[in-house]
Amino acid sequence: MTSLFTQEIHLSKRHEEIVSQRLMLLQKMEKKLEDQNTERASQLQAMETALKRNHSLLKDVEAAEKSLQARLRSPPCPELVSLETRYWASVEEYIPKWKQFLLGKEPYPTGVESPKEAEKTFQNEAQ
């Protein structure tokens, strides 16, 4: 009889341990579920923020594209046209002087400032 009573006490203690462990596991699971829900909410908020930012960026890009297209359609400013015209006139003026040199048939053209001389002139003007 004592042995049955001892077994009963042992089983009762074991039952309490198991119930206690079960309670701890349930609490851990609830905590984990709360953490997961918090993480999901945080991710959802981050996703919504990213979507708003991306939408804003897309609007900005579209506005910039429209602005650039409008600038492309408008005629260039007169200063730019003048500068471009003078540049190409200068290029056409120097082509005959440089053509044979660039083809390797003649030495460096005379009457044209060499890169070294141009650098010296630039340095002298800067000082």
Q: Check if the beta carbon of residue 114 is closer than 8 Å to that of residue 106.
A: no
Q: How many domains does the chain have?
A: 1
Task: Tell me the residue type at 90.
Answer: S
For 104, which DSSP code? T
* 54 falls within a domain: no
The reply to whether 53 falls in a domain is no
Q: State what percent of residues in the chain have pLDDT above 70.
A: 85
pLDDT of 111 over the 90 cut: no
Average pLDDT, the chain: 87
40: in domain? no
pLDDT one-digit tens code per residue, 58-83: 999 999 999 999 888 888 888 989 99
For 98, the domain range is: 78-127
- Whether residue 84 lies inside any domain: the answer is yes
Give me the pLDDT at residue 72, please. Answer: 82
pTM of the model: 0.43
Given this model, what pLDDT does residue 113 score? 58
Give domain status of residue 126, yes or no: yes
What is the torsion angle, in degrees rounded to the nearest 10, for the CA atoms of residue 30, residue 31, residue 32 and residue 33? 50
pLDDT score, position 54: 97
In which band, very low, low, confident or very high, does the pLDDT at 121 lie, cut at 50, 70 and 90? low
- Domain presence at residue 112: yes
Q: What's the pLDDT at 74? A: 83
Residue 37 lies in a domain: no
